[in-house]
Copies of this chain bind each other. A is one copy, B any other.
Amino acid sequence: MDGSIKPTADQQRALAARYGQAAPAAGPWNPVIDCLLQHRSVRGYKPDAVPAGTLETLIAAASSAATSSNLQTWSVVVVEDPAVRAELAKIAGNQKHIEQCPLFMVWVADTSRNERLGIAEGKPLEGLPYLETFLVAAIDAALAAQNAVVAAESIGLSTVYIGALRNNVPRVAELLKLPQGVSCVFGLCVGYPLAGREGEVKPRLPQHVVVHHGTYDHSEEHDHRATYDAAMSDFSARHEMAAATWSERVIERNGTVAALRGRDKLGEHLRGLGFPLK
Contacts and interface: CB of A to CB of B under 8 A. Distances in A.
A132 interface: yes
A146 B156 contact: no
Interface string A23-34: 011111111110
Interface of A: 1-3, 5, 14-15, 18-19, 24-33, 35-39, 41, 51-57, 59-72, 74-81, 84, 112-114, 116-118, 120-121, 123, 125-128, 130-133, 135-136, 138-139, 142-143, 145-147, 149-151, 154-156, 159-161, 163, 166, 176-179, 182, 185-186, 201-202, 204-205, 207, 209-216, 218, 221-222, 225, 232, 246-247, 249-251, 253-257, 259-260, 263-264, 266-267, 270, 277-278
A3 B51 contact: yes
A154 B204 contact: no
Listed from nearest, the 6 A-B pairs whose CB atoms lie closest are: A27-B53, A3-B155, A32-B154, A27-B57, A142-B142, A177-B215
A56 B27 contact: yes
Contacts of A246: 70
A63 B19 contact: yes
Given A28-B53, A63-B18, A135 B212 contact: no
B247 A5 contact: no
B204 A127 contact: no
Contacts of A250: 71, 114, 117-118, 125
Given A33-B151, A57-B27, A116 B221 contact: yes
Q: How many copies does the complex hold?
A: 2
B36 A35 contact: no
Contact of A143 (B15, B80, B142): B142
Nearest to A123: B251
B27 A125 contact: no
Nearest to A155: B3
Point out which of A70, A156, A254 has the most chain B C-beta atoms below 10 A from its C-beta.
A254
Point out which of A18, A120, A267 has the most chain B C-beta atoms below 10 A from its C-beta.
A267
Contacts of A216: 75, 77, 176-179, 182
Contacts of A1: 31, 35, 154-156
A9 to B, nearest CB: 16
